């Protein structure tokens, strides 16, 4: 490994930007279980959490990020404007601040990635080196994020990207189709709205599994190059399979499942900003897309974490307040009442 890679292994302090969000919180919890000391950057006061040292600051402020990053070996960049707002004006500046801080302190950057940066020519099976020719604005931004991280890795800030499908988990945010479309957080499940199109399978990623995967990769950091990207396969589900698992979790096998009204979303997109952003991502639901995880399995020397679907769905519903009964304990480390931070949340 290069000198920059070996140098960052001397400390076990991680700064998680977006620790109050879904993937940021799950990654923070996993890293803490693996012996890391966790700092979280937040614009808003957060409840006491013995696993996270909260530091006041804004991911859009370079000096705040640099101050929070002093002495860290790892910066998890899980900041993502909620509800798809302000992607064009905030996503890249936030990443630039993370890169500048990582260069200054000699830290590795971890980016929980998506598949937005791939277009239809890369489907149906995505590999780490599949061509990145996105057809959407958000996809183009994701491509640029990865380009900047690769450049940073060549200039003293090693980077690790873990790409995954649609996130779901006990602390999902409104960037998640599970929490924003399929069920209503905080309410019993009386019906299910399914965005999946008939005949197309879809890749889902359970947040605690992704967080644990990142922690295990960092345990093997000496095997990582300065720039690495891995695909996380997650749960590859046939159309209707996620809805069926939700129905099973709530004990209502005959619950009404409504198809997501894509036609209305497309028709109303000129009038509703959120609909415009959702319509842009329709192509990810209209065909089967899977992530090949062979490279990840090779480095981990086995299968990555894979919580059984019914368990993952049940605990997601419990964490979202959709079940009258359910155990949160397994996820209390990061779910414990965090308030979503608009500049520090992630899917």
pLDDT tens digits, 164-222: 999 999 988 777 899 999 999 999 999 999 999 889 999 999 999 999 999 999 999 99
User: Rounded distance, CA 292 to CA 28, Å?
Assistant: 25
Return the pLDDT at 325.
58
Task: Give 291-325 pLDDT, tens digit per residue.
Answer: 999 999 999 999 999 999 999 999 999 999 999 75
Helix (H, G, I), strand (E, B) or coil at 270: coil
Q: Which residue has the tokens 């630039």?
A: 96
Which residues, including other chains, have CB under 8 Å from residue 150's CB and lie 6 or more apart? 159, 227
Q: Which of 22, 63, 15, 57 is nearest to 40 (CA)?
A: 15
Mean pLDDT of 253-263: 93
Which residues, including other chains, have CB under 8 Å from residue 63's CB and lie 6 or more apart? none
| pLDDT above 90 (res 280) | no
| pLDDT above 50 (res 345) | no
Helix (H, G, I), strand (E, B) or coil at 90: helix
User: Rounded distance, CA 296 to CA 128, Å?
Assistant: 10
Peptide bond into 124 cis (omega under 30): yes
Q: Which DSSP letter does residue 260 get?
A: P
Instruction: Concatenate the DSSP letters of all residues of 18-51 into one string.
Output: TTTSHHHHHHHHHHHHTT-EEEEEESS-----TT
The chain-wide mean pLDDT, for the chain, equals 88
Return the pLDDT at 339.
39
What crossing angle do the helices spanning 22-33 and 207-219 adopt, rounded to 10°? 40
Q: How many Cβ atoms from other residues are within 10 Å of residue 147's Cβ?
A: 12
User: Rounded distance, CA 234 to CA 304, Å?
Assistant: 9
Helices (H) and strands (E) in the chain, counts: 13, 14
What CATH code is assigned to 3-173+204-236+288-307+328-335? 3.40.50.720
Tell me the percentage of the chain whose pLDDT exceeds 90.
73
26 vs 83, residue with greater confidence:
26
| pLDDT above 70 (res 7) | no
Enter the pTM of the model.
Answer: 0.89
Task: Give 125-176 pLDDT, tens digit per residue.
Answer: 999 999 999 989 999 999 999 999 999 999 999 999 999 999 999 988 777 8
Query: What are residue 229's DSSP bridge partners?
Result: 161
Return the pLDDT at 61.
96
User: Rounded distance, CA 179 to CA 173, Å?
Assistant: 7
Residue 154 structure tokens: 């060549």
Task: Give 264-278 pLDDT, tens digit per residue.
Answer: 888 888 888 778 778
Backbone angles phi, psi at 77, to 5 degrees: -95, 90
- Hey, where are the domains in the chain? 3-173+204-236+288-307+328-335
Least confident of 70-84, 122-136, 285-299: 70-84
User: Rounded distance, CA 168 to CA 182, Å?
Assistant: 11
**Count of all residues that appear for the chain in the document:** 347
User: Rounded distance, CA 328 to CA 321, Å?
Assistant: 10
Q: Which DSSP letter does residue 165 get?
A: S
Task: Give 106-115 pLDDT, tens digit per residue.
Answer: 999 999 999 9
């Amino acid at each position: 490994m290069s000198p920059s890679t070996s140098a960052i292994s001397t400390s076990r302090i991680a700064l998680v930007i977006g620790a109050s969000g879904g993937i940021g919180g799950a990654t923070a919890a996993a890293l803490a279980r693996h012996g890391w000391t966790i700092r979280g950057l937040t614009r808003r006061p957060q409840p006491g959490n013995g696993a996270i040292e909260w530091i006041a600051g804004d991911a859009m402020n370079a000096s705040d990020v640099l101050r929070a990053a002093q002495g860290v070996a790892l910066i998890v960049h899980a900041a993502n404007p909620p509800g798809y707002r302000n992607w064009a004006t905030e996503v890249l500046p936030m990443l630039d601040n993370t890169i500048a801080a990582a260069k200054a302190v000699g830290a590795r950057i971890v980016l929980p990635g998506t598949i937005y940066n791939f277009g239809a020519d890369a489907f149906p099976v995505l590999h780490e080196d599949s061509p990145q020719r996105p057809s959407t604005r958000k996809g183009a931004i994701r491509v640029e994020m990865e380009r900047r991280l690769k450049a940073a890795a060549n200039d003293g800030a090693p980077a690790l990207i873990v790409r995954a499908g649609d996130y779901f988990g006990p602390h999902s945010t409104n960037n998640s189709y599970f929490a924003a479309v399929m069920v209503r957080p905080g309410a019993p499940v009386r019906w299910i709205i399914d965005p999946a199109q008939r005949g197309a399978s879809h890749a889902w990623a359970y947040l605690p599994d992704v967080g644990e995967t990142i922690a295990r990769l960092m345990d093997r950091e000496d095997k990582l190059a300065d720039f690495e990207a891995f695909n996380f396969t997650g749960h590859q589900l046939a159309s209707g399979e996620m809805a069926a698992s939700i129905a099973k979790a709530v004990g209502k096998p005959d619950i009404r499942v409504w198809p997501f009204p894509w036609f209305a979303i497309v028709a109303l997109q000129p009038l509703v900003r959120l609909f415009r952003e959702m319509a842009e991502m329709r192509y990810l639901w209209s065909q089967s897309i899977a992530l090949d995880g062979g490279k990840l399995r090779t480095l981990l020397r086995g299968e990555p974490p894979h919580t059984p679907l019914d368990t993952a769905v049940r605990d997601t519903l419990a964490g979202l307040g959709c079940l009258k009964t359910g155990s949160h304990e397994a996820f209390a480390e990061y779910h414990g009442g965090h308030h979503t931070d608009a500049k520090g949340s992630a899917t």
